[in-house]
Amino acid sequence: MMTKDTSGDVRLSGISKTYGSFTAVHPLDLTVPQGSFFALLGASGCGKTTTLRMIAGLEEPTSGSVSLGDQDVTNLPPYKRPVNTVFQSYALFPHLDIFENVAFGLRRRGIKSVKKQVEEMLELVQLGEQARKKPHQLSGGQQQRVAVARALINHPKVLLLDEPLGALDLKLRRQMQLELKRIQTEVGITFIHVTHDQEEAMTMADTVAVMNAGRVEQLGSPADLYENPNTTFVANFLGTSNLIEAEVDTKSGDEIVLKAGGGKLSLPAARCSAPTTTGGKVLVGIRPEKISLTHADDAGGIPEGRNRITGKIADSSFIGVSTQYVIDSPVCPEFEVYAQNIDRDARLIPGADVVLHWNPAHTFGLDATQDIDAGVETVGEEASA
């Protein structure tokens, strides 16, 4: 295809959308570089789909502009924009067969001989045999692939995907995630993918923008977002986080020492997104899989320099690769710990006194003025282990 250029860049400048008194999307600036797989992640109603529809031209922004490469497309109707959409419910034309569905965009642009292109595209999505069937004769996964083929055949500068995998069952969804990723790598087109599934966003996208209440909370690579969340929403929405309210005790160089409960915790200054003043409050976060669990009797064997918290096991559930513990601790009522099942300590049963400890480098700090539970209720079941 094209050489490395910026003609497929999507630039949103100050784009917003209000319906009456309700603001679906607050003024938003976003640049999606050419060729990237970009995910807009958020719970339903966060404005992610509205943002996507404004890029497609299906929704008119209240303010701001949309540019593709050097071209301002804000005032162009959808049929004049070089972007294509894979709709949530696929929106395949029920009166046309698969071949004609895929050929639709080409025919509208006055291309006469579509046969070869359509056949190649159907091969790419492995539906060559189904060309003469009607959409309702195909399974959900096949319909989904038709929807992708129908959009991709037009070689759009940007492919927009609106929760394209939402209607599929888990196994098929996994398969399609890899499939879409493969196709994206193969064709090199910019993909903008809207999803509420954090795992889906993290497996597929190079860059994820987490949206909440019409705003982008944080933008970055999946690993970056997971390891360095800037807000409690991101910390809780992407995987699971244990958040503890703590008071700043001392600040020395690149280390901040905090008081929580009776103990002290250490936090690298670089990993704290909140302003810190001595005596001020900070939320301390730690991911459940970074924590080690030691029975209170062996507490002496824990190396020096690790953050530690004492508690009592309230609950444990064995899920195969790991065991998930819920710990009652004076600093935090429900501390979650995921322990790999390598050497299982038989004494770690509910009721046992334990010490939780972790490498201070894995701790992150957040602004304590936020809602500590933001994004919690929407957390998927599959926090990574």
Partner 1 sequence: MTTVTEAPPPLAPTPQKKPPRRRGRLTPYWLLLPGILWLLLFFALPMVYQASTSVQTGSLEEGYEVTWHFATYWDAVSEYWPQFLRSVLYAGTATALCLLLGYPLAYLIAFRAGRWRNLILILVIAPFFTSFLIRTLAWKTILADGGPVVGALNSLHLLDVTSWLGITAGDRVLATPLAVVCGLTYNFLPFMILPLYTSLERIDGRLHEAAHDLYAKPFTTFRKVTFPLSMPGVVSGTLLTFIPASGDYVNADLLGSTDTRMVGNVIQGQFLRVLDYPTAAALSFILMAAILIIVTLYIRKSGTEDLV
- Residue 83 · residue 64 · CB < 8 Å: no
> CB-wise, 164 or 365, nearer to partner 1?
164
Rounded least distance, CB 91 to partner 1, Å: 4
Which tokens in the block code for residue 46? 């966060």
By beta-carbon proximity to partner 1, the closer residue of 134 and 308 is 134
* Alpha-carbon gap, residue 189 to 208, rounded angstroms: 17
Options 11, 150, 173, 196; binder of partner 1; rule CB under 8 A: 150
Count of CA atoms in the C-beta half-sphere (13 A) of 164 = 32
Contact 329, 311 (CB under 8 A): yes
Beta carbon nearer to partner 1, 98 or 286:
98
Residue 104 CB, nearest distance to partner 1 (Å)? 5
- Name the minimum Å distance from CB 36 to partner 1: 21
| Least Cβ distance, residue 94 to partner 1 (angstroms) | 5
Q: How far is the CB of 50 from partner 1 (least distance, A)?
A: 14
Please work out the total of residues on this chain that contact partner 1, with binding judged by CB under 8 A. Answer: 25
Residues 37-66 that bind partner 1 (CB under 8 A): 56-58
DSSP lists the bridge partners of residue 284 as 244, 365
What's the CA gap between 256 and 365, in Å, rounded?
10
Burial of 70 (0-12, 13-18, 19+ CB in 10 A): exposed
Site string for partner 1, 241-260 (x = CB under 8 A): --------------------
130 to 149, contacts with partner 1 by CB under 8 A? 134
DSSP string, 153-189: TT--SEEEEESTTTTS-HHHHHHHHHHHHHHHHHH--
Per-residue x/- track, 79-118, partner 1 (CB under 8 A): xx--xxx-x-x-xxxxx--------xx--xx---------
Q: Are the beta carbons of 296 and 310 closer than 8 angstroms? A: yes
To partner 1, the closest distance from the beta carbon of 79 in angstroms equals 5
140 vs 268 by CB, closer to partner 1: 140
Q: Cα–Cα distance between 311 and 314 in angstroms, integer?
A: 9
Residues at the interface with partner 1 (CB under 8 A): 56-58, 77-80, 83-85, 87, 89, 91-95, 104-105, 108-109, 134, 150-151, 154
